[in-house]
Amino acid sequence: MFAGLQIAAYMVFTASSAAPQPISFDQILDDFDSTEGLSLRAADLRATGPNEYPVSITVWRNDLPLALFAAASALALVPSDAVGFILNRGEIQTQCAYPVNALTRLRKSNGTADGERDGCGAMPGFENSGSCGQDISAESFVAAYMNKPQQRNPIQLPWRHQTIWMLELAVCHFEDVSVMLEAQKMLLNRSAVAPTGVTPEEWLGNATHAGTGLTTYNEVIIGPVDESVFGSIFWAHAGPFREPLPSDRGACEIAAVLGSNLTTLPIIELAGVNLEYPFEGCGTSHGRFSRPSPSPTCLSQGVAEWNANLTVGGGKRDASSVFREVDGATFLDLDCSGVQVV
């Protein structure tokens, strides 16, 4: 039973914005199997009105890991689930694409601290962090960025001289999403083994360093949008398909929206999703403030499991194990009285 959930101004749609256009289940599968992939935006379902700035999305493709940005990861928390929207690709305008999280809120139009905010701009202090150039290939991207650039870790004792991989800050952007996805795929596959001249311990520390190293999700910047781009609501979690639980914050958020009759969009369950950073066992935890040491095999195991799923599907992920339509009543029946969504 849906009861007791504290709701703070849930508004999936507004009277001033264009109506959403539900996306068919078959179209979701087609996009997932296409070279440019399926567009998803992990987001608070209370989002209101048009965006003032371009926004970030993640693109999934059938030969890449199923990963999403989870806000709690920065605090070393692994949420049980995540929610957001699957987008109608024909309604969005892609501006640029990064193979990893690129901290785009900090990027500037002229690459300096006093420049205007620009998700496709350069990161102040990193001169090669703008466009990758029109002739960039996956191979040349990996050659340029694999464990590079290295800079001194600012959060360390003064007498130590440890350097870390500044990938997220320094990464350049692609114009073509499909080329970016190839670069992401190659970079992640190469990450299973430490680069030449780097010890496994050093590589593990660099690749799993939160906020600078690898992510298994990409970041694509699209033009300012309103609700007309929303094709469905997604509910994502690790592991196989399952019923939502009263302890799932995302599921209770969906219940609140449905209970307030604020959406008629279809709901799609996404199974087998990685909400950790970058792979399971690489340092995120269910604790509140602790960040445990990464498992020595988290990178190699994460890459191996991803590729094993592709092998079973003949070189691509079997969509039938990832996507499932869910009746809204499944969420409305939850007793969310113990969950607070603010």
Q: Which residues contact 127 (CB under 8 A, 6 or more apart)?
A: 111
For 113-133, the pLDDT digits (tens) are 999 999 999 999 998 999 999
Q: For residue 250, which of 267, 229, 228, 231 has the smallest C-alpha distance?
A: 267
Which amino acid is located at 210 in the chain?
Answer: A
Residue 155 pLDDT grade (very low, low, confident, very high; cuts 50, 70, 90): low
DSSP three-state, residue 212: coil
* 106 neighbors 212 (Cβ within 8 angstroms): no
- The pTM assigned to this predicted structure is 0.90
Return the structure tokens found at 192: 């299973």
Return the structure tokens found at 288: 């509140």
Report the distance separating Cα 254 and Cα 173, nearest Å. Answer: 33
The pLDDT score that the predictor gives to residue 46 is 73
The pLDDT score that the predictor gives to residue 76 is 46
Query: Is the confidence at residue 97, as pLDDT, over 90?
Result: yes
The pLDDT score that the predictor gives to residue 285 is 45
Residue 108 pLDDT grade (very low, low, confident, very high; cuts 50, 70, 90): very high
> What is the distance in angstroms between the CA of the first residue and the CA of the last residue of the chain?
20
Greater confidence (103 vs 291) lies with: 103
Query: Is the confidence at residue 14, as pLDDT, over 60?
Result: no
Query: Is the confidence at residue 238, as pLDDT, over 80?
Result: yes
For 300-327, the pLDDT digits (tens) are 999 999 999 999 889 999 999 999 999 9
